[in-house]
Structure 1
Amino acid sequence: MVSPTALPECWGHRGASAAYPENTLASFSAAILDGAEGIESDVHVSKDNVVIMFHDPSLGRTTDTTGLIREKNWYGDMEHVRTTKRGSDGKTQPIPTFVATVDLLMQESHKHVKFNVDVKVQNEPDRLFTLMRDVITAQPNWETELAPRIILGLWHPKFIVPAKKYLPWIQLSHIGMSPRVAREFFWESCDAFSLSFPSLLSAGGEKFRRECKAAGKKIMVWTVNRREEMIEAVRWGVNAILTDVTQDWLMLRSELQRDYTKASAGSRWFLWTRLDYYYIIQFKKWADQHSQLEKVGGRFQKVLGTLELPSSSLIS
């Protein structure tokens, strides 16, 4: 029997987003109710300086309206927007603010839940982190009951210095699709790395996993929704699995805890059955994404010097 502490934590990717509209309080609450140890969500800032939980820079893909978030006010406009998708309860959902999400996490029964904030490159770092700081520090006992549970996920190195300036008590992670980029631009500044599942399959991914283990750095992997991928991530020894299907991973984790050998049995041939897993496909996806990140956020540059990181670790 495998010790529960040896298995990856469950973090709801945009909440329990397979069952409820992504990045909504209903989705976050469902993931927590399922038993997830953490939730992951994305942030953008409205024209009137409200931080909202939303993945895209525009509203059209998932809601009943259109337009760029940065060009719209929250009050009188986006506060009335609803998702087009309905949850398993048959209801659409409003867009939550960062304030409302923090309030959810500060409920007494939720104070164990970690909060992975995905910082989208379209944000202006000083503005975003100032607004986030004001929300966090407005909570009672925020230093001990909230800040230690938050981890900022950064795609672009331009956010590193502002994050340490405005949110020095928050841990940093890098989110990406390339172990090489993680090593070159984020290694000294981050103590955790959230990388796509296919990017960790290659020889370079295997080497990076070994380096992280040797250095005591944590690895989260996204977005892992298939049983065989979950088992593979367990074999890698990652610290957290980000998934849309929180119930599925938690049920599988229980099976692994009861009988690891039986639950993890099966062929690994699936690793050769999907084009997404092949290096050339992954390289093309990374190159396209990297080009877009630099187009929006500017050229990647190394942060000079080692930044002091918080001493506590969010991920077991």
Structure 2
Amino acid sequence: MTLIFAHRGYSALYPENTMLAFKEAEKAGAEGIELDVQLSKDGEVVVIHDETVDRTTNGKGYVKDLTYAELKRLNAGFRMKMNLKKEPIPSLREVLKWLTGNSLICNIELKNSIFPYQGMEEKVIELIREYRLTERIIISSFNHYSIVNCYRRAPEIETAPLMGQVVYMPWIYAESIRAKGIHPKYKTLKDEVVKKSEESGVAVRPYTVNKEKDMVHFIKLGCSGLITDDPVRALRVRKQIDKETKY
């Protein structure tokens, strides 16, 4: 079965990378969530996508230049007009603590391609182990050096490199860096790559699949997972395909 991962939570309807978006993804029936992490000025692992807070909050500046207390004061939900309540930027600790009360899989993307965030891998791994969630976490990044570093430090935690461009025989590449999955940009993903990777035991979870026709295509191809802004649409499509397959 193709598992549905809510990209930055249920971000089609709720403020991305907030506890509200994660909780709504769980309520919708998604099997997993995807989120992004960076480090605050004082070294807290925080959940936010951009290197600056400008787009997603009512603040300005780089995440790395703001303390955790300063980041917490910002409203990450102010751009969603239907969202009247303040939504703070969560810490990874907060999200992992919440995950202990459900069965969701969590894909943690390390945002360390622009700023290297010294020690981020260790901090993330330490938190995952503290909450005993090693079996339910996938660590991904566009920084593949970081992916290898994570595997070396914690071989029990699954890793999956993010791929924005076409990679030749990515299932071989994944095996060479000990990754159990690949997360390619859906527009670059060829059918043969899905089949060969999945046959080789390498999970394929394309991002960010939001159109119904693309969802149908990748679910029918047998991808291990789909990363989407709209888990409700993806779940409806998967249910319809299941129904058609049975008859």
Q: Please indicate, yes or no, whether the TM-score normalized by the shorter chain is above 0.5.
A: yes
Equivalents in 1 of 2:107, 2:181: separation in Å? Answer: 11
Check the 8 A contact 2:39/2:63 in 1, yes or no: yes
Deviation per residue, 1:133-176 (Å, 9 max, x gap): 3322333xx1xxx1100001121222133212333321110111
Q: 1:123 to 1:148 in 2, by over 3 A?
A: farther
Deviation per residue, 1:173-231 (Å, 9 max, x gap): 0111223167375441212011111101xxxx233223203311110011111111111
- Residues 1:259 and 2:244 are matched in the alignment: yes
- Residues 1:47 and 2:41 are matched in the alignment: yes
Aligned counterpart, 1:208? 193
Equivalents in 2 of 1:188, 1:125: separation in Å? Answer: 25
Aligned residue pairs: how many? 243
| Structure with higher helix content | 1
Aligned counterpart, 1:78? 71
Equivalents in 2 of 1:136, 1:160: separation in Å? Answer: 15
Of the three residues 187, 193, 207, the one matched with 2:182 is: 193
After TM superposition, the score normalised by the length of structure 1 is: 0.72
Check the 8 A contact 2:121/2:146 in 1, yes or no: no
- Residues 1:240 and 2:232 are matched in the alignment: no
- Residues 1:132 and 2:124 are matched in the alignment: yes
- Residues 1:158 and 2:145 are matched in the alignment: yes
Consecutive unaligned residues of structure 2, counting only runs of 5 or more, are none
After TM superposition, the score normalised by the length of structure 2 is: 0.91
Deviation per residue, 1:14-33 (Å, 9 max, x gap): 00001110000000000011
Q: 1:261 to 1:179 in 2, by over 3 A?
A: farther
Equivalents in 1 of 2:235, 2:196: separation in Å? Answer: 28
What's the % identity of the aligned pairs? 23
Equivalents in 2 of 1:181, 1:91: separation in Å? Answer: 46
My pick for the range that moved more, 26-35 or 229-238, is 229-238
Aligned-CA RMSD value: 2.0
Check the 8 A contact 2:17/2:35 in 1, yes or no: yes
Specify the SS of the correspondent of 1:40: strand
Q: 1:89 to 1:59 in 2, by over 3 A?
A: closer
Report the structure number with the largest CA radius of gyration.
1
Equivalents in 2 of 1:71, 1:181: separation in Å? Answer: 38
